[in-house]
Amino acid sequence: MNALQEDAPIVVGNTGIELTPDTINNDANTTVVAQTTDNTQPGNTTAAQPDNNQLQVMSYFPSAVYSIVKPEFLSSVRKVSTEFLNKRKKEQPRMDPIYPLYQTENMFNDPRITDFCQYVGATAWNILNGQGFAMADKSVFFMELWCQEHYKHSAMDEHTHGYGAQLAGFYFLETPPDCSRIIIHDPRPAKKQINLPEADMAKVTYGSNAINFTPEPGLLFFANSWLPHQFSRHSHNTKPIRFIHFTIGVKQNDASTVVAKNAAAPAQQQQQAPVNGPIIV
């Protein structure tokens, strides 16, 4: 009986294709054809054939994250979050010894941070629209927006956001030295099932299992809600890390309301292209 031996090697000959970092970083959609001279016929040029032993590398189904530093919102958001945190500390004088943190109730209805909420909402709509989703007849809204204040040894376990949330994000208010880091994880369970050891975990490669980011005050960070994320343990002895955490949902616009608004609008406004954007509730 013929059987495949478990320890039978697969031998790659000298005509095999080896993927190197240079190969991977090549632009797969660009073919460079060099002009060479045909020595047999002076003045003749012929196009050199592209190397037919190089793999075309294509990447699909990416996991995108987005960040921007927006310090102009720090003053108002810090003030509101401090008030909400003080209220929670009165209601909950003692922190959990396993997860020493305070979490506020939802804050998105506070009028003092309307500018911040509008910016986050508009950015969220633009992200989803830019990812290729049909957003022209849809709006975004806050499902949650609350403040978290983590003390030494506190952390956030790996998780995703469900219940209809499309995006999740953070806005960092206080980030002392040795504070927690944002960590995103590979969302593909099939890859986790058969994973190989990484050659160098300090490098971001196709084999990476997780990637971490160092927060700073004013950093605004977005990701799709299905992307697993967590926070490493906070290490500062006395100062907590404080940030806003939010989730964004999507809803269909009311067609009858849009028609009624268009009918009531002046003629010159009716001819303009509709302005798509968020509805923040």
What was the pLDDT predicted at 253?
94
pLDDT interval class at 278 (50, 70, 90): very low
pLDDT above 60 (res 125): yes
pLDDT interval class at 52 (50, 70, 90): confident
Highest mean pLDDT among 7-11, 33-37, 190-194, 261-265: 190-194
pLDDT above 50 (res 229): yes
pLDDT above 50 (res 4): no
pLDDT above 60 (res 92): yes
pLDDT above 90 (res 5): no
pLDDT interval class at 53 (50, 70, 90): confident
With pLDDT > 90 as the criterion, what percentage of the chain qualifies?
67
What was the pLDDT predicted at 47?
56
Per-residue pLDDT of 234-269, as tens digits, reads: 999 999 999 999 999 999 998 765 554 445 544 443
pLDDT interval class at 275 (50, 70, 90): very low
Per-residue pLDDT of 144-188, as tens digits, reads: 999 999 999 999 999 999 999 999 999 999 999 999 999 999 999
Nearest to 65, CA basis, from 192, 193, 204, 162: 204
120 or 43, higher pLDDT: 120
Average pLDDT over residues 114-143: 97
Indicate the average pLDDT of the chain: 82
- pTM, rounded to two decimals: 0.75
